């Protein structure tokens, strides 16, 4: 949204009124405003691409929704819900989600969040040959650079490098936070980084 349109939106929110394009009548509004974004609006204000006055007008009660990969229990609950909805829409029996299939889902980072999970579950329901969805029925086709490295055959050392790099990317190279998450010393992370650099990884 460009800055001019932001100014118009701000006026509507503040005055709780608007006039239609081509019209002269002022229309009073009564509404509750809920906004959502995946952008860092505070940073955009600093960069001059988002109006500061609109930012503070929208601030209200912020609710941060963690990505799906950080909510393991929700993955299974949502998967079962999507299976029920798929069965209802197609007028089919509800398929069960096998234990190995659940394990496979829990090991995937879901860069596409809930929309990706819904697509994966619906495809697995189509691919299933029995009343239970098996691990082999679940296919990941993410275009993200994040990969489910647990499915790759590597040495323990390579796995370690991948895990450290994954969490450093996730937490913007915050070594202290990654050390806390992985329950290892920060010196261990720095050592791994040095080894990866020496090996050109």
Q: In this predicted structure, what is the pLDDT of residue 96? A: 95
Residue with tokens 């920060």: 186
Higher pLDDT, 124 or 142: 124
Q: What average pLDDT is seen over the chain? A: 87
Is residue 197 classed as helix, strand or coil in its secondary structure?
helix
Please report which confidence band the pLDDT of residue 46 belongs to, taking 50, 70 and 90 as the band edges: very high
Please report which confidence band the pLDDT of residue 3 belongs to, taking 50, 70 and 90 as the band edges: very high
Contact 57/10 with Cβ under 8 angstroms?
A: yes
pTM exceeding 0.85: no
Which part of the chain is CATH 1.10.10? 153-198
CATH hierarchy code of domain 68-137: 1.10.8.60
Share of the chain above pLDDT 90, in %: 43
φ/ψ of residue 25, rounded to 5: -70, 140
Tens digits of residue pLDDT in 13-26? 999 999 888 888 99
Which part of the chain is CATH 1.10.8.60? 68-137
- The encoded tokens of residue 30 equal 């009564």
> Is domain 153-198 given the CATH code 1.10.10 in the classification?
yes
């Amino acid at each position: 949204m460009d800055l001019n349109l932001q100014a118009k939106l701000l006026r509507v929110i503040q005055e709780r009124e608007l006039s239609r394009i081509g019209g002269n009548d002022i229309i009073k509004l009564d509404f509750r405003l809920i906004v959502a974004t995946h952008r860092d609006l505070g940073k955009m204000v600093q960069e001059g691409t988002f109006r500061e006055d609109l930012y503070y007008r929208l601030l209200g009660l912020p609710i941060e929704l963690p990505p799906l990969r950080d909510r393991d229990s929700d993955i299974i609950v949502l998967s079962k819900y999507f299976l029920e909805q798929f069965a209802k829409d197609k007028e089919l029996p509800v398929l069960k989600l096998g234990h190995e299939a659940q394990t496979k889902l829990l090991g995937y980072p879901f860069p596409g969040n809930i929309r990706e999970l819904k697509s994966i579950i619906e495809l697995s329901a189509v691919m299933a040959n029995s009343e239970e969805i098996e691990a082999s029925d679940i296919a990941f086709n993410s275009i993200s650079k994040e990969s489910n490295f647990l499915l790759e055959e590597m040495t323990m050392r390579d796995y370690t490098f991948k895990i450290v790099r994954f969490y450093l990317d996730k937490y913007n190279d915050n070594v202290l936070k990654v050390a806390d998450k992985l329950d290892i010393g920060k010196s261990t992370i720095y050592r791994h980084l040095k080894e990866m650099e020496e090996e050109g990884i």
